[in-house]
Copies of this chain bind each other. A is one copy, B any other.
Amino acid sequence: MTEEDGDRPLSLVLFSGTDDKLTAAAVMAVGAAAMGRRVNVFLQYYALDAFRADRVHDDHGLVPEAGLKPAARIRANGRTHWSELLSQAKEAGDVDVEACALSMDTLGIRRDELHPLVDGVEGVAAFMAAAADGPIVFI
């Protein structure tokens, strides 16, 4: 361990758009931001689709393996919505949310259709540069 530990950014590639995975991602962002760690979020495919301004609060389902009983508990738990957790992370620290330019094109999504939590649109090279040598988590 050195005094540099934990000073590298945490980079999250959000690919899945189910509410359970988006919540897991947002919880990591909150934890890292609260520790003063820079967080880069890169939205692709189904996660990007879930960040359309008019769909954020839709029911995005759970991963297919969610059994009936766990699913019922997860849905009933009245937890904070992932968009709210991500908003808290942005207030607590340095969190940048970027839409993947290629996924925007593939899915036919325009910049003005995205939720205000999204800070911009960038390519994978810009994301990789921002990630530097920090961990990259694909969710």
Contact = CB atoms under 8 A, between A and B. Distances in A.
Interface of A: 1, 4-8, 10-11, 13, 15-18, 20-21, 24, 27-28, 30-32, 34-35, 37, 44-46, 49, 61, 63-67, 70, 73-74, 77, 79, 102, 105-108, 123-125, 127-129, 131-139
B73 A106 contact: yes
Contact of A65 (B24, B64, B127, B135): B64
A137 B138 contact: yes
Contacts of A34: 125
Contacts of A128: 6, 10, 28, 31-32, 35, 37
A79 B65 contact: no
